[in-house]
Amino acid sequence: MITNLQYISQGNSPQEHLQHIGEVCEAGVRWVQLRLKNVDAATILNTALKCREICDQYGAIMIVNDSVSIAQASQADGVHLGLKDMNPKDAREILGDNYIIGGTANTLQDCIQHSNDGVDYIGLGPFRYTTTKEKLSPILGLEGYRSIISELRVQEIEIPIVAIGGIVEDDIAGIIETGISGIAVSGMLTDQEQLEEKIQHIKVLVANKLEAKG
């Protein structure tokens, strides 16, 4: 089951990532992607092991960004692969069927390729400009989501699609109405006031929109 609210970790240091992960889990998030950039593998593994402990404490799913080996070594629940990372088929060979494998997509062709490669969900974006991602792909917006999801339906490709990239609360209703399965956010939940109320509001909003969509 792909949850409809995912948190992608953010911070100026591994310690800050862990602090923010703990805060959002305590406030009700149950899907965390550890996304550390520009640090060495040993630091990522050490942080991933601590992240695993936090996620276990709250019953949250833990996904590691980019690295199959770190996901395996830290006993994460899965891995999220960028377009230039390991092929999902190869990741599946290593990890087996019990791991969740997600893939980043920017185009319809990316989505079709991921579906053929057997990913469990697709992170489709960016929705708008975001400072948390280097080398940003072309912005999709609502029209981009509508177009891609419509074409996937024509081709009878059914796979959970999670919107990502610069999403704020006011965007959520419109995004879900495009046919998106859920949202992945970072800045919206990092260092925010009244985090528990905010997360509950987002969950209810997404659930209601999905239910209304049928």
pLDDT tens, residue by residue, 8-43: 999 999 999 999 999 999 999 999 999 999 999 999
CATH of the domain spanning 5-209, picked from 3.50.50.60, 3.20.20.60, 3.20.20.70, 3.40.50.620: 3.20.20.70
For residue range 95-125, what is the model confidence (pLDDT) as tens digits? 999 999 999 999 999 999 999 999 999 999 9
List, for residues 62-87, the tens digit of each pLDDT value. 999 999 999 999 999 999 999 999 99
Residue 90 above 70 pLDDT? Answer: yes
Residue-range domain boundaries for the chain: 5-209
Q: How far is CA 193 from the centre of its chain?
A: 22
31 close to 1: Cβ distance less than 8 angstroms: no
Q: What is the pTM of this model?
A: 0.94
Q: How confident is the model at residue 209 (pLDDT cuts 50, 70, 90)?
A: confident
